[in-house]
Structure 1
């Protein structure tokens, strides 16, 4: 059988949020490749080889997947959420473009998944109901100056915003600076949603006015959603509902 690659999204965490298309690809795979925690989510079975690796070797991982597929293996490259959102799809295509011409004849498919920002938005209500942008706050692959520029411009444009990888133990200062920029540019009490480990047993969701936000409210398992100036909060018994109207006067 000819080899192929499926670049698949495993969703935000819950097994029932993995799509049937991704489940089918995993059932056919001979090899699963990805970051250690994501590979660990794939059940063991006879005939399946799991290749876990560190989260800073995306191109090496991609070249390994392409080599295996070229040798006739059926390879699933896994990411959390959606593979096209700050994940492995672009890394595989970067390796493909720079690699041997024969790789371009491989059967390569991207299988979408439910992103963390959409899962978090659904839990809160509909904070991304109008124009929004997504920004990765990690400076592992791009300089902080670029992150801050994009953050400032997005705030000035009054987008709702979704922040991936807001704060790690090795770089806690980045999210603190991001909050400073938001408070400086926005100057209002728009809602900020801290959605941690959505769809898992550790799920925690808090809605906090922007002036009251503190850096330690987020970690690497937290999706941070910032409302626009139009975003509304409906108070009720239990968790509030946060939404952004679809129209702007």
Structure 2
């Protein structure tokens, strides 16, 4: 899933820089004469600096992310690096909107987003205590939640802890959807509830969607009410 502008700038770039699998997902847009620079997981800062150096040298560079570059993506790192340059060296920069997992998953589920929040459970760059405080605060609201980076091979308990925090405020029958690899060939959607969803079925590329209190099942679709019930 791409915006038209995102496809255009990748196709027109002299150099495409990004995490290897994300560059590969642009394969249908790439030209033989383009230079490709595939990075590895964890090298985000180096990729941003590499892209900036190329742009300062006069190349047209596309620094790609999956989803939307401004939502848990590369835009923040790149803009911080650009801002450190003097005006005479600063290249023209455009942050191109993409399709983030929250809205891509929501479209598959129906129309479940009204007021909602996104949160990442990754504690690689943020202390877990801070992540947990955010989850606890959101649990007490009536916002639908789109949970990014919920679980990985090494982070196996944080999602269960997030569920505990949510269940302290929300009904166990709250609809939950596990949407994995949305928009990709191996896309998988599983419906459950907050009390009984299987955390073992969740991977790094899974978006865990927790419905708000106004959502209801309308035929095969999950639909958010525009007038959710009052609480208190």
Query: Is this contact kept in 2: 1:26–1:76, CA < 8 A?
Result: yes
Partner of 1:79: 65
Instruction: Please tell me whether residue 244 in structure 1 is matched to residue 224 in structure 2.
Output: yes
Shift of 1:111: 1.0
TM-score by length of 1: 0.86
Partner of 2:211: 227
Partner of 2:133: 149
Higher relative contact order (CA 8 A, sep 6+): 1
Partner of 1:68: 54
Residues in 2 aligned to 1:222 and 1:103: alpha-carbon distance in whole angstroms: 43
Q: Which deviates further from its counterpart, 30-39 or 55-64?
A: 55-64
Give the secondary structure class of the aligned counterpart of 2:169.
Answer: helix
Residues in 2 aligned to 1:215 and 1:177: alpha-carbon distance in whole angstroms: 11
Shift >6 Å, 4+ stretches: none
Could you tell me which of 84, 96, 101 is aligned with 2:82?
96
Q: Which deviates further from its counterpart, 47-56 or 179-188?
A: 179-188
Instruction: Please tell me whether residue 122 in structure 1 is matched to residue 102 in structure 2.
Output: no
Give the secondary structure class of the aligned counterpart of 1:46.
Answer: coil
Query: Is this contact kept in 2: 1:21–1:111, CA < 8 A?
Result: yes
TM-score by length of 2: 0.92
Instruction: Please tell me whether residue 109 in structure 1 is matched to residue 90 in structure 2.
Output: no
Query: Is this contact kept in 1: 2:11–2:31, CA < 8 A?
Result: no
Shift of 1:80: 0.6
Q: 5+ unaligned residues in a row in structure 1: which ranges?
A: 1-16
The RMSD of aligned alpha carbons is 1.6
Partner of 2:44: 58
Residues in 1 aligned to 2:119 and 2:186: alpha-carbon distance in whole angstroms: 24
Partner of 1:169: 153
Could you tell me which of 49, 59, 68 is aligned with 2:35?
49
Q: How many residues align?
A: 227
